[in-house]
Amino acid sequence: MSKSAILCVDDEKPVLENLKEQLKSAFGNAYLYAMAEDTDEALELLEEFSEDKISIVVIVSDWLMPGMKGDEFLILVHQRFPKIVKILLTGQADEVAIERAIEHANLHLCLHKPWSEEELITTIKSALSKL
């Protein structure tokens, strides 16, 4: 049986820890949970998982990060892995960036920080229902 994973990308460790805790609480062992502190690490994980035949089904990405912004990252991911459902999680994304991600990365939804656990889980469940 091949495993599926949810990837979270944020440059703030406490945010990643929170996301992982909330996802594990809601979905238990149904998925692997991968955390990346920047887009380079996330892209490496995408390649590793692909080689290991583990499918990343959802990516939750911050927008404002050093290096590459979240919308640019999600567009890059979409070009290589179009079936991954993409969610932007941000406190600071501008409307142009969100629109760009919707248009060029098939963005599922944009959640705003601070998010509620219920909102996160509902969004992930709706994302998973698209698969």
Using one digit for the tens of pLDDT, what is the confidence trace for 35-68? 999 999 999 999 999 999 999 999 999 999 999 9
Q: In the prediction, which pLDDT does 19 show?
A: 98
The arithmetic mean of pLDDT across residues 67-93, rounded, is 94
The C-alpha atoms of residue 15 and residue 83 are separated, in whole angstroms, by: 25
Using one digit for the tens of pLDDT, what is the confidence trace for 13-42? 999 999 999 999 999 999 999 999 999 999
The arithmetic mean of pLDDT across residues 70-91, rounded, is 95
Q: In the prediction, which pLDDT does 47 show?
A: 95
HSE, CB side, 13 Å, CA atoms: give it for residue 115: 25
The arithmetic mean of pLDDT across residues 62-89, rounded, is 95
The C-alpha atoms of residue 80 and residue 121 are separated, in whole angstroms, by: 26
- Hey, what domains does the chain have and what are their CATH numbers? 4-129 (3.40.50.2300)
User: Would you state the structure tokens that stand for residue 128, as one six-digit string?
Assistant: 């998973």
Instruction: Give the global pTM.
Output: 0.95
Q: Which residue has the tokens 């229902």?
A: 129
Q: In the prediction, which pLDDT does 74 show?
A: 98
The mean predicted confidence, pLDDT, of the chain is 94
Would you give the distance in Å from CA 96 to the centre of its chain?
19
Q: In the prediction, which pLDDT does 1 show?
A: 47
Among residues 117, 81, 67, the alpha carbon closest in space to that of 7 is found at 81
Q: In the prediction, which pLDDT does 130 show?
A: 80
The C-alpha atoms of residue 73 and residue 40 are separated, in whole angstroms, by: 9
The C-alpha atoms of residue 15 and residue 18 are separated, in whole angstroms, by: 5
